[in-house]
């Protein structure tokens, strides 16, 4: 089974085109909101008006058009190949459910995902806590040792370790760089398309033809 973090397949930063590792890349919206509120209060901007502006900004960020999404790889090809080989697919993300489902539909892979666990789901716990990975494995009837976590953050790889998953794959097409991930990953890959070759022996370019 593959657990995949949404940020490794999408490119969401509209202005700088870069997202640094840390809370914005790894945290849930509730965590991000809490830290921004603390920052506002610490700098003397903790009034109702400031918090109202913050809430509107958060709502706006969560309703971005799917036109702003760009696939790093042909996700339909990748997910189809995994399913053809009887591999279950799970999405485990800090993003909210509405945005996650919108992204999966945008890339026409929603029906290929066996389960999605999102940051705003009841009972969900932020990575690197192992809860979400354990929940996914239990729900799908998969031994954790037979599950692979594919992610671009230390939180992703930390969850894999904490949950006792079979492998932690670091992806370099997201926020994580080699020096950031290599000591925490079993394997580093340039992008998720490389999974076909490494785990299934499928040439991704021949697969397209």
User: Residues 63-76: pLDDT tens digits?
Assistant: 655 566 677 778 89
Element (H, E) at 92: strand 89-92
DSSP 47: S
The pLDDT of residue 3 is 64
Structural domain boundaries of the chain? 2-13+68-208
Q: How far apart are CA 86 and CA 1, in angstroms?
A: 9
Q: How far apart are CA 169 and CA 165, in angstroms?
A: 11
Q: pTM of the prediction? A: 0.74
Class of domain 2-13+68-208: alpha beta
What value does the mean pLDDT of the chain take? 82
The pLDDT of residue 61 is 65
Q: Cβ–Cβ contacts within 10 Å for residue 7, how many? A: 24
Distances (CA, A) of 179 to 6, 29, 48, 80, 124: 21, 27, 42, 32, 29
26-48 pLDDT per residue, tens: 666 777 777 888 888 888 887 88
């Amino acid at each position: 089974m593959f657990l995949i973090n949404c940020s490794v397949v999408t490119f969401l930063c509209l202005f700088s085109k870069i997202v640094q590792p840390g809370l914005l890349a790894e945290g849930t919206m509730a965590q991000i909101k809490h830290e921004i509120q603390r920052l506002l209060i610490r700098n003397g901007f903790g009034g109702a008006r400031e918090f109202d502006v913050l809430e509107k900004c958060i709502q706006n960020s969560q309703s971005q058009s799917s036109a702003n999404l760009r696939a790093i790889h042909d996700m339909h090809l990748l997910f189809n190949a995994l399913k053809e080989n009887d591999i279950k697919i799970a999405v485990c993300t800090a993003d909210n459910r509405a945005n996650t489902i919108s992204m999966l539909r945008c890339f026409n892979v929603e029906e290929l995902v066996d389960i999605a666990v999102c940051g705003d789901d009841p009972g969900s716990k932020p990575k690197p806590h192992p809860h979400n990975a354990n929940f996914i494995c239990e729900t799908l009837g998969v031994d954790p040792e037979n599950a692979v976590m594919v992610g671009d953050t230390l939180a992703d790889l930390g969850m894999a370790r904490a949950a006792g998953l079979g492998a932690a794959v670091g992806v370099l097409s997201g926020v994580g760089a080699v020096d950031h991930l290599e000591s925490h990953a079993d394997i580093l890959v340039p992008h998720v398309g490389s999974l076909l070759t490494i785990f299934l022996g499928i040439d991704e370019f021949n697969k397209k033809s």
